[in-house]
Amino acid sequence: MKDKVEQTLVSFRLSFVAELDGKLALIVKYWSEVKTAKSMVAIKQFRFEIHSLRGSSASLGFLILSKKLGIIEEKVVSYEEQINSLESIITFIETDINSIIEVSKINPNPLLA
């Protein structure tokens, strides 16, 4: 029974790794929409994607990635209701997103350690 659970977990982890580039591309797309639209809908969609990826990565044991996504999520949450103040953190969030993307290109990916 334990072997089956471990095999399933390995399978989920491999699927997650295979899909990570696409998920990061989606986050970049939503972040671009936040910057251009500056709407509450765009911010909530971006935050949802960050939150979902953060939760999935934590559940699968990719704690470094989860922590980095958590930093982004906390920044967004603190400015979510103050859409006009979002400009003040755009650079910081972009730096965090770009850092995740750059590091994810390294093989093996240190975010998935």
Question: Which sign does the torsion angle of CA 22, 64, 112, 109 carry?
Answer: positive
pTM, rounded to two decimals: 0.84
- Distance, in Å, from the CA atom of 23 to the CA atom of 97, rounded to the nearest integer, reads 12
**Structure confidence by residue, pLDDT tens digits, 20-65:** 999 999 999 999 998 888 788 888 899 999 999 999 999 999 999 9
For residue 6, the model assigns a pLDDT of: 87
CA separation for the pair 88, 76 (Å, rounded): 11
Mean per-residue pLDDT, 13-23: 95
The amino acid sitting at 57 is S
All structural domains of the chain: 2-112 (1.20.120)
Tens digits of per-residue pLDDT, 80-113?
A: 667 667 777 788 888 999 999 999 999 999 998 8
Handedness of CA 52, 49, 38, 40 (dihedral sign): negative
Q: Which tokens go with 20?
A: 């990570």
pLDDT (0 to 100) of residue 61: 94
Within 13 Å, how many C-alpha atoms sit on residue 103's CB side?
Answer: 13
Nearest alpha-carbon partner for 97 in 6, 4, 31: 31
What 3-state class would DSSP assign to 71?
helix
